[in-house]
Amino acid sequence: MNLRPFQRAAATVVTTVVGVSFAVATASAADAEERPPFYEPPAELPGSNGDLVRSEPSEYFLDPLKAIKVDADVQRVMYRSSDRGGAPIAVTGTVITPNGEWTGEGERPVVGYAPGTQGIADHCAPSRQLANGTEYEGVFVKAMLSKGYAVAMTDYQGLGTPGVHTYINREVSGNAVLDAVRAAQRLPGADVPDDGPVVLYGYSQGGGGVAGAAELASSYAPELDIRGAAAGAVPAELGGVGANLDGGFYAAFLGYAVAGVAAGYDIDLEPYLNEKGEQFRDDVENSCTIDGIAQFAFAQTKDFTEDGRPLTDYLAEEPFATAVGEQRIGNGKPAFPVLIGQSRLDDVIPFEQSETLAGEWCAQGADVQFAPNLGPTHIGGAIASFPRAFAWLDDRLTGEPTTPNCGNAEQAPVDPEIPVDERQPLLPQLSERLDLD
């Protein structure tokens, strides 16, 4: 697999704005505003999952100064999806189509893009952040557009729309990803075929969304022609992820997870939280990624509970234990090829979770390629994973044979074409790896 064309495509935009994008990855609470009317669902939703409720033209900038506007057709959409019980819900997202005719073989593909952690406040919704130039994954989306792919990016349940965002809920997230693709195929005027090829991509929270979609697709959206899915840093077992987060730099993410589980399963958190804990809950529910990290880095959740135990203890007990168990990824079998990528140096999602997931899927007969890397930390792992995932997805669309390795890390050495030295600064590494010169 020659990664250089994909490295150059990503480099066209990544190195221009990556420093700015990661520095202002999400809008701050100070930028919050009343929910725009577009995000208020109607009383009645259309009849089928993936059906459009409404759409409107939007914009897509790569920087918060709005100096770099992406030349594409950008539509903000609201569509019907379903919650974990099958009840209809309204979800928003963005459908982006390159300007110009598709010049590849067959029909234009659409990427079902599952975004990573944004926060759980309404103003963190990717559809709003793309328009504001604060969506840190905008650079990766732009690379996909440069290949001529259309992109359907979900906001997930409760992110933008009323209610608390059901952060890393396996079933609801997977549904939202699949229904975003359906919505793109049904969007009037979009240059997206109604039954064309589909691939899925996501990292971190998005990796969980894609992995959930991969397990659900054969029963939930069997009509979609999904050629493959690339899932990076998958949070496959929530309890283990939570233990890794508590007291660490990304402690806010544990707050997002607990709030999301409580929202998805109607669990009242009040009996478990002390006064500081109630403030923690309120603050994380009104934060995006960067302000959440800044406010709660290295927080220990034992300081937020009535009995002084960490929130991770509660996740192993009812009423949380059943809910947490239902988020486990690995029990279903993807019906199409899957690439799992993750850094061995990830400081958010335990590396072993991806390795275990790959093995479990392979044991069920799935076509799995496990591709570890040495990207420094969780963020560096995202940058290191993307060129490989991008090239692998293109291979699925052009009919190249897969090279499954059954999740065996010993058969999946770190890609020598994308070397990473964790001792070097991140941006020079990125420039070298993506072949800028």
Q: Tell me the pLDDT of the chain (437 aa) as tens digits.
A: 544 444 444 444 344 434 444 444 444 443 456 799 999 999 999 899 999 999 999 999 999 999 999 999 999 999 999 999 999 999 999 999 999 899 999 999 999 999 999 999 999 999 999 999 999 999 999 999 999 999 999 999 999 999 999 999 999 999 999 999 999 999 999 999 999 999 999 999 999 999 999 999 999 999 999 999 999 999 999 999 999 999 999 999 999 999 999 999 999 999 999 999 999 999 999 999 999 999 999 999 999 999 999 999 999 999 999 999 999 999 999 999 999 999 999 999 999 999 999 999 999 999 999 999 999 999 999 999 999 999 999 999 999 999 999 856 544 444 444 443 333 333 333 334 333 33
Residue 437 is predicted with a pLDDT of 32
CA distance 245 to 195: 41
Tokens matching residue 141: 């989306």
Query: Could you tell me which CATH number the domain at 4-237+328-433 has?
Result: 3.40.50.1820
Tell me the three state secondary structure of residue 295: helix
Q: How far does CA 309 lie from the centroid of its chain? A: 30
Q: Token pair for residue 234?
A: 């998958």
**Helix intervals (H) in 166-237:** 170-186, 205-220
Indicate the fold that domain 238-325 takes in CATH: 434 Repressor (Amino-terminal Domain) (1.10.260)
**Alpha-carbon span 414 to 31, nearest angstrom:** 40
Which tokens belong to 157?
């349940």
* 72-82/52-57 β-pairing: antiparallel
User: In 265-372, which ranges are continuous DSSP H helix?
Assistant: 275-285, 289-296, 311-315, 320-325, 351-363
**Which whole-number Å values give the CA distances from 168 to 49, 222, 350, 394, 403, in the listed order?**
20, 23, 15, 27, 29
Separation CA 91–CA 155 (nearest Å):
7
Nearest Cα to Cα of residue 326 among 231, 204, 245, 216: 216
- Hunting for tokens 């994308």 — which residue is that? 418
Phi, psi dihedrals of residue 182, rounded to the nearest 5° = -60, -45
Distance CA 78, CA 175 (A): 14
CB of 366 closer than 8 Å to CB of 334: yes
**Residue 203 gets which letter from DSSP?**
E
Distances (CA, A) of 219 to 166, 198, 256, 366, 383: 22, 16, 29, 16, 32
How is residue 75 written in tokens?
């539509």
CATH 1.10.260.130 positions along the chain are: 238-325
Within 342-420, residue ranges assigned H as helices are 351-363, 377-398
Contact by Cβ (8 Å): 141, 169: no
Q: Contact at 8 Å (CB) between 134 and 174?
A: no
Per-state percent for the chain, helix, strand, coil, to nearest 5: 40, 15, 40
List where CATH 3.40.50.1820 sits in the chain: 4-237+328-433
Residue 408: per-residue pLDDT:
64
